[in-house]
Amino acid sequence: MQTIVISGANRGIGLALTRQFLQAGHHVIAGCRQPAEAADLLASLGSLELAQLDVGDAKSVSLFCQQLGTRAVDVLINNAGVMGGEQQGIGDMDYADWLHTFEINTLAPFRLATALLPNLKLAARPRIATISSQMGAFGLELGTGLYAYRSSKAAVSKVMQVLAQELAADNIIVCPLHPGWVRTDMGGQSAHISTEASASGLFKLIDNLTMDQSGRFWTWEGREHVW
């Protein structure tokens, strides 16, 4: 049984990932802002441990790490994310919201990953999987607008690429992942795939990740993504 930490585990892709890893017999430490209100999460079957985790709050991250203590963590999935507000365009940019989007989508995955390094180093095949997005890829031109979201995801992919190089000496695998366009509160109901389909693909990919895949960008289908 491996220990899997998932942020933003209470709904959307994070909830589906939690269920996938529980079904596979792993112990999941499900981080969410309001654990007591995570009804769907509480109904999940398996070795589930709920923990309060606001990834944008350094104190919450610190208390979360204290709850983990000196246990080995096999996989960290940085899933929590925000789209940013409605005002992300030319002439109506909400700069405070842009900064908040960066805090949650870019800075927080780095903070959580580095805070959990002692736990990850205790695992046999430690992996840091960060849910980025094709919306942050330089090699694709996918529409316009959403400057805050796109730039935060482009930045987190770069952060993970650098982290992969730095942690290679510790044999820690680090990858940004694109989960597909998924029907969630964020993705909307017109999105291409269900949370189950996304999580099933991500589960297979994360379960089998090897060192030679580290520092590269992957899709939920296991295909390499352009940067």
Ligand X SMILES: NC(=O)c1ccc[n+]([C@@H]2O[C@H](COP(=O)([O-])OP(=O)(O)OC[C@H]3O[C@@H](n4cnc5c(N)ncnc54)[C@H](OP(=O)(O)O)[C@@H]3O)[C@@H](O)[C@H]2O)c1
Beta bridge pairs of residue 117? none
Site string (22-61) toward ligand X, x via CB under 6 A: -----------x-------------------xxxx-----
Integer Cα distance of 80 and 105 in angstroms: 7
Contact stretch for ligand X (CB under 6 A) within 10-18, 42-50, 116-124, 168-176: 10-18
Determine if 84 is a binding residue for ligand X (CB under 6 A).
no
CB 76 within 8 A of CB 127: yes
Among 73, 131, 164, 167, binds ligand X (CB under 6 A): 131
Among 185, 189, 190, 226, binds ligand X (CB under 6 A): 185
Dihedral sign, Cα of residue 109, residue 110, residue 114, residue 120 = positive
Among 22, 77, 104, 199, binds ligand X (CB under 6 A): 104
Among 122, 191, 222, 227, binds ligand X (CB under 6 A): 191
Among 2, 68, 73, 81, binds ligand X (CB under 6 A): 81
Determine if 215 is a binding residue for ligand X (CB under 6 A).
no
Q: Which of 75, 84, 72 is nearest to 24 (CA)?
A: 75
Cα–Cα distances in Å, from 213 out to 120, 160, 195?
18, 12, 24
205, two tokens: 């990919």
- CA count, 13 A, side-chain hemisphere, 120: 21
- CA count, 13 A, side-chain hemisphere, 217: 25
Determine if 92 is a binding residue for ligand X (CB under 6 A).
no
Closer residue to ligand X in complex, CB, 26/111: 111
Closer residue to ligand X in complex, CB, 104/128: 104
Closer residue to ligand X in complex, CB, 84/215: 84
Closer residue to ligand X in complex, CB, 179/201: 179
Dihedral sign, Cα of residue 94, residue 153, residue 40, residue 58 = negative
Site string (132-151) toward ligand X, x via CB under 6 A: -x------------------
Closer residue to ligand X in complex, CB, 83/123: 83
Backbone phi and psi for residue 29, each to the nearest 5 degrees, phi listed first: -100, 105
CB 152 within 8 A of CB 196: no
- CA count, 13 A, side-chain hemisphere, 174: 25
Determine if 7 is a binding residue for ligand X (CB under 6 A).
yes
Contacting positions for ligand X (CB under 6 A): 7-8, 10-14, 33, 53-56, 79-82, 104, 131, 133, 179, 181-182, 184-187, 191
